[in-house]
Structure 1
Amino acid sequence: MIRRLAIDGYRSIRSLVVDLGDLTVVTGANGSGKSNLYRALRLLADCGEGRIIGSLAAVGGMDAVRWAGPEQGSSRGRAVQGTVRSGPVALRLGVATDELGYAIDLGIPVAARSAFDLDPEIKQEHVFAGLDPRPAGVLVERVRGLARMRGDDGWQQLATNMHPWASVLDELAGHEEAAELAGTRRMLRGWRFHDALRTDRSAPARQTQVATRAVRLDDDGANLAAVLQTAIEAGWDREVHAAIDRAFPGSRLRLPMADGRMSVSLEQPGLLRPLAAPELSDGTLQYLLLVAALLSAEKPSLVVLNEPERSLHVDLVEPLAALVRQAAEATQVVVVTHQQRLADALGGTRVELEKHDGETLVAGREGPLDRPAWHWPKR
């Protein structure tokens, strides 16, 4: 269970540390920085997949994502005078459970010019015990090319010449004595994100799909029918049908098959035939996609939903909230939303963001002493 998230130097986030619960709702006005918190979580997941450098290069490198405001940050309503930067450019991301945490520090390359100038460098990585990367709790430390681990007899060297684009999670996770690296990578790889579920006329979920078991929903929802059928056969039939009945009373899900392919349809009261996937409204299809995402046969450690209320009629807000709360009993869920009604219906741990002088802050938090403990390792 992810308990703490730390972001430093990313877009509108100069420095942010928040605690997460079993169900966390991130809210705030448009432009307050909700999407940046969501993207930062995705970048952390990319660390587990060895994609962090490529993901940052794809959006323009460090210059496109780094904090652009003054180093001292917002003064909540008082104008902040810009100054010449005295410290190094850094993008730092960290996450922690009760037992294990991970922090990465990325910066601008200092080597000779290259065709890959958009690639940032990994300056530091730390795997640590507990909720705060204090020096005493560090288990694995990577500083530039040197990686080492803490053992019973002190520090043990793992690598001496790591490339600046290579992560310890990718390069050294198989080290027989550094089980913490494999555990950290497994944690980050277990997260799922849903923000690109398509419901347009050409959406993959409206097409027939190959009938093969699927334990998790594709990013675009292409395997919707297979995920729902797999969940039903895995023993989640009652939950799937109850979620649909809450949203569309009296309706029944159908998953017709023909020639090794399957699709989604919905029987609704008063209609003489089921409505096939191409006939479903955008809101109905969006809700079915969310049912598949949250009730799939595979239960991930974390599911993050970005504005799941898109395309949904207001009458579907309560059924959606009930679906999310039910999923949070087995899986940690983070919901990013600007709809107050959905946020209120969800309950859970609330993180309300606001923006002052261009900086994303947590509402009601007056100063650094009000935020959870987090000590970034110094370069």
Structure 2
Amino acid sequence: MNQLARLQIDGFRSIKSADIPLRALNVLIGANGAGKSNLIDFFRLLNYALSRGFQNPYLLERGPASAILHFGPKETGVVRAELAFATDAGINYYRFTLADSSGDRLTFTKEEVQLHRRGAERPNPAVSLIQHPSDNSGLCELWAENDPTARFAKGFLQRCRVYQFHDTSLTSHFRDYSPVDQGRYLYADGGNLSAVLLDLRGQASDDYTSIVRTLKAVLPWFEDFVLEEEGRKGVLLRWRMTGRGDYLFGPGQLSDGSLRIMALVTLLLLPTDRLPNVIVLDEPELGLHPAAEEVIAGLIKNVARSRQVILSTQSASFIDHFSADDVIVVENENGCSTFTPHTQEELQRWLERYTLSQIWSKNIIGGRP
């Protein structure tokens, strides 16, 4: 499995300097404000940069530059990053520099890719993706497809997605109609959930059945979805209750937690060819019952066999479903975030007597307020 093996970031929000080794499954734990969300936001930056959306909407909504540069431009003038991808051919590198520019903006001033072939003494020469400062990533340009290393980086990063299903308000996309032609991949906010389920029911019925069966295990009152195209409006997330097949419910009659569970289960049970290379989840346990946490954790571990997963959590009960090998402790000291991985071996003496959550609560591995 190709995967992001290492991530080095300098100057991004609370991350002054961090060199983070990554595994197939990575569980970020730490106190509020430690920097977990900032690492996840870095992946959002990559998503927008590759879709020509870096200046707008990313910087417009999540910036400006003074809010992104570590303690502002007076202390930090640039954001630097290096991503190392482990592949069968060797290590592929993608590097970029974002510099403070006029108007409280950030501009790409350096961007390159490089391949260090397996067994080679030295890496290949780096390939520059931009010739002059640019508002957008050079990976957006068609010519980047001509270089195999650039093509790999672009393809990998385009299939790296941040999912956050927190907005379940009455005006959220969850509770509205979805165009039926937008059901191939699940959106980052889950807003096209009804269209995805409709498409799965027709194109991947076994996977759809698995989703319904899993939802019944955590939502015992749930019987099945009722998904019908309603002309130009699209499809709405309608459903039936167990024992009340005569009554049709709508998305407005689902709790926030139920909607999140439906989105998470659907995402994690998608056919492999519909899954991103890297699935980034921001607090997936939010609002879940402990029994649902166990199911979601099991699905996450299963999907991590074929796809890389990075998630943040503040739930002590949730991390007990994972191994110490999966955990990265995030701490913040004087406004600077650190990321410390742990292993089952180094914590074995403690794990013989305590659960992982107890070790965390006792501050043995850090990450406590």
Instruction: Give TM-score, length-normalised by structure 2.
Output: 0.77
The aligned amino acid for 2:96 is: I
Computing the radius of gyration from Cα coordinates, the structure with the larger value is: 1
What is the RMSD computed on CA atoms of the aligned residues?
Answer: 2.9
Counterpart contact for 1:255–1:262, Cα < 8 Å: no
Measure, in 2, the Cα distance between the counterparts of 1:198 and 1:58: 16
Give how far 1:182 is off: 1.9
Give the structure 2 partner of residue 228 of structure 1: 197
* 1:284-303 aligned within 5 A: 284-297=258-271, 298-303=274-279
2:83 paired with 1:95: yes
* 1:221-300 aligned within 5 A: 221-232=190-201, 233-234=203-204, 235-249=206-220, 251-257=222-228, 259-260=230-231, 261-271=234-244, 273=247, 275-297=249-271, 298-300=274-276
Identity %: 25
Counterpart contact for 2:8–2:81, Cα < 8 Å: yes
Measure, in 2, the Cα distance between the counterparts of 1:36 and 1:8: 12
* 1:25-174 aligned within 5 A: 25-54=27-56, 55-56=58-59, 58-68=61-71, 89-98=77-86, 99-109=91-101, 117-130=103-116, 136-137=122-123, 139-142=125-128, 161-171=131-141, 173-174=143-144
| Unaligned residue ranges in structure 1 (runs of 5+) | 70-83, 110-115, 148-158, 366-379
The aligned amino acid for 1:192 is: R
Give the structure 2 partner of residue 23 of structure 1: 25
Cα deviations by residue, 1:53-83 (Å, 9 ceiling, x for unpaired): 44335444332211129xxxxxxxxxxxxxx
Count of aligned residue pairs for this structure pair = 324
Measure, in 1, the Cα distance between the counterparts of 2:145 and 2:217: 49
Measure, in 2, the Cα distance between the counterparts of 1:258 and 1:129: 48
Give the structure 2 partner of residue 192 of structure 1: 161
Counterpart contact for 1:299–1:330, Cα < 8 Å: no
Measure, in 1, the Cα distance between the counterparts of 2:44 and 2:116: 22
Q: Match for 1:218 among 187, 202, 205?
A: 187
The aligned amino acid for 1:20 is: L
Q: Residue 361 of structure 1 aligns to a residue in which SS? A: strand
Give the structure 2 partner of residue 375 of structure 1: none
Counterpart contact for 1:9–1:91, Cα < 8 Å: yes
Counterpart contact for 1:173–1:181, Cα < 8 Å: no
- The structure richer in helix per residue is 2
| Unaligned residue ranges in structure 2 (runs of 5+) | 343-369
Runs of 4+ in structure 1 deviating by more than 4 angstroms, as ranges, are: none
2:328 paired with 1:351: yes
Give the structure 1 partner of residue 4 of structure 2: 2
The aligned amino acid for 1:295 is: L
Cα deviations by residue, 1:234-292 (Å, 9 ceiling, x for unpaired): 24134212321331247322223254443334444454645432111111111101122
* 1:316-335 aligned within 5 A: 316-335=292-311
